[in-house]
Amino acid sequence: MKKGLFVISFLFLAVMCWKLLTGPQDKHPPVLYSDFLQALDTGKIKQVSIYMGYTDADLKFVRKDFSSAGTSNIGTRELPNLIKKMVDDGVSVEFATARKASPAEFFLNFVPLLLLILVVGYFYFIRSRKKA
Contact 56, 73 (CB under 8 A): yes
pLDDT at 98 over 70: no
The pLDDT assigned to 101 comes to: 63
What is the number of helices (H) and of strands (E) in the chain? 4, 4
Percent share of the chain, pLDDT over 90: 4
Q: Strand pairing partners for 16?
A: none
Question: What separation in angstroms does the CA of 9 have from each of 22, 45, 112, 120?
Answer: 20, 48, 9, 14
DSSP secondary structure code for residue 30 in this structure: B
Please count the other Cβ atoms lying within 10 Å of the Cβ belonging to residue 85.
13
Domains of the chain: 33-99 (3.30.720.210)
Can you tell me the mean pLDDT for 65-77?
A: 76
pLDDT category, 4, cuts 50, 70, 90? confident
pLDDT category, 20, cuts 50, 70, 90? low
pLDDT category, 84, cuts 50, 70, 90? very high
- The dihedral region occupied by 28, where left means phi > 0, alpha psi between -120 and 50, and beta the remainder, is beta
Can you tell me the mean pLDDT for 82-90?
A: 90
Region of poorest pLDDT, from 30-44, 64-78, 96-110: 96-110
State pTM to two decimals. Answer: 0.54
Can you tell me the mean pLDDT for 120-132?
A: 72
Which residues, including other chains, have CB under 8 Å from residue 85's CB and lie 6 or more apart? 40
Indicate the average pLDDT of the chain. Answer: 78
Task: Please choose, from the candidates 77, 78, 60, the residue with its C-alpha nearest in 3D space to the C-alpha of residue 69.
Answer: 60
